[in-house]
Structure 1
Amino acid sequence: MEDQIQTLRVRQAVLRYVTTRRTGTAGIARVNRLARLPAEQRRQPVAELVAEATHALDMEPAFAAHLRSMLPDLLDDPSVEQLDAWLELAHLIGDPDFREGVREAFERHATDRSSGPPDTATAGHDQRYAPETRSGARGPPAPRRTRPPRTDL
């Protein structure tokens, strides 16, 4: 009985999606396939992305465990917006540029971790984006002095 209720909920979610998004046959098939997958199979592509992006990197163990614990899941009775988000996520995961960007972000994390603890004076401030800090300037530049407007004209 529970399986039948779940099947009806999935069908209802797909129908809500189709009626509000006016998607074609291919879109209907995609969302229907996604919604019918068991939760473990829906999470698998995200888990594979995280595993691929962090492979052979010196990751802080607690951070890596936190990543694995936060894998997203689609609810049993998803809203139209949740189905939209899952379709977008599926699209992103399949994009090689996105995957490369995720890998680069984790590589930066591993590099930062290996360079030691952050300097407490600049913690939270990325010096690459603060050129005035590198030049020794303190604060914004002083406004330029201009001549007062002439009043004798």
Structure 2
Amino acid sequence: MGGTTLYSIGELSRRTGLSVKTIRFYSDANVVAPTCRTPAGYRLYDLDALLRLELVRTLRELGIDLPTIQQVLDRERSVAEVASAHADALDVQIRTLQLRRSVLRAAARFGSSPKETKLMHKLTRLSGEERHRLIDDFIDRTFGAESADPSAAMVRAATPDLPDDPSTDQVAAWVGIAEMIGDEYFRARMRRVAGHQSHQLTLDIETDAGDELVGFTRQRLAEARSAGIDPLSDEAAPVVDDLVRRFAEAFGRAPDAEFRDWMAQQFELAHDPRVDEYWRLVWTVNDWQVIPNLIPVYTWLIQALRRDR
């Protein structure tokens, strides 16, 4: 062998950090064959074998399988090519693990039942393309396939896009959206409300009530929301009773249950609590900043008017 330095399997183990058993396995699998053997049959390895073993150890620690490593050693594939492919594969695994972590945190935080946890897991496992297809199908079934209606364009422009590493709130919001869009009753409500919102139509009740009363109403409702008053609580009653009285006077009617129901119906033409909840969930999934003056204040009033029902 001339001046070539040869290493015993024990020396190779000390230099590479691999066990003798592992080196013997690689040798038997012909991944790194011995350079030669002693008269007694002991394996000897040269510097090239040492370098090959160090490369094998590095690639194995990075999670690359032996058949692929063999292709690298045989120069059938480059290290760069293999590294790129495995990095892409790891990206997929990382995204999967991140989603699983988010589902588990959401289940723990919201006290989800086994059924709810299973649903969350199923919905978050969908690919981004599959999630977009769900929303596209919802829009097509709500407004008609390939609709040119501005309402459809408005909803489509705000397609919820769950990130790769969602927060627990984003997971819960996405599940809420998925449950909503499968409901035909909700689609009908979205169709009605989105039409008013996209065309920025003024409600008849606003026109007939006048700017002064409408401005006062918006201010009172905004104050109630800011104060954290639940529209279904007793604390909301004085606010609602006062507004009902003012509107009844403006329309020359009695502020009774029938009038309250009529008021709710008028505001529901453009402001539906379920539809507003959909938009809130979309903001959460997309991590958009909530702009207070864009939050429909009439939703609070509708819920308060419907309290007895």
Give the TM interval when normalised to the shorter protein.
Answer: 0.5 to 0.7
The residue number in structure 1 matching 2:190 is: 102
Which of 41, 44, 50 aligns to 2:133? It is 44
The residue number in structure 2 matching 1:93 is: 181
Q: What letter matches 1:78 in structure 2?
A: P
Unaligned runs of 5+ in 2: 1-89, 214-245, 247-309
Q: Within 1, Cα distance between the matches of 2:101 and 2:93?
A: 12
Q: Within 1, Cα distance between the matches of 2:100 and 2:212?
A: 59
Q: Within 1, Cα distance between the matches of 2:171 and 2:183?
A: 19
Q: What letter matches 1:126 in structure 2?
A: L
Indicate the structure whose relative CO is greater, using CA pairs within 8 Å and at least 6 residues apart.
Answer: 1
Percent identity of paired positions between Structure 1 and Structure 2: 27
Q: Within 2, Cα distance between the matches of 1:66 and 1:124?
A: 15
Q: Within 2, Cα distance between the matches of 1:104 and 1:39?
A: 28
Is 1:80–2:157 an aligned residue pair? no
The residue number in structure 2 matching 1:117 is: none
Moved over 4 A (4+): 63-66, 106-110, 138-141
Q: What SS class does the counterpart of residue 4 from structure 1 fall into?
A: helix
Q: Within 1, Cα distance between the matches of 2:171 and 2:106?
A: 7
* Deviation (angstroms), 1:106: 4.8
- Normalised by the length of structure 2, the TM-score is 0.35
The residue number in structure 2 matching 1:22 is: 111
Larger Rg: 2
The residue number in structure 2 matching 1:13 is: 102
Conserved? CA contact 1:53–1:106, under 8 Å: no
- Bigger share in helix: 2
Q: Within 2, Cα distance between the matches of 1:24 and 1:93?
A: 21
What whole-Å deviation, never above 9, does each CA across 1:52-111 have from its counterpart, x for those lacking one?
222286625xx654543321111111111111111111121122211111222355579x
Q: Within 1, Cα distance between the matches of 2:154 and 2:92?
A: 32
What whole-Å deviation, never above 9, does each CA across 1:99-143 have from its counterpart, x for those lacking one?
111222355579x6xxxxxxxxxx86433433245xxxx9679xx
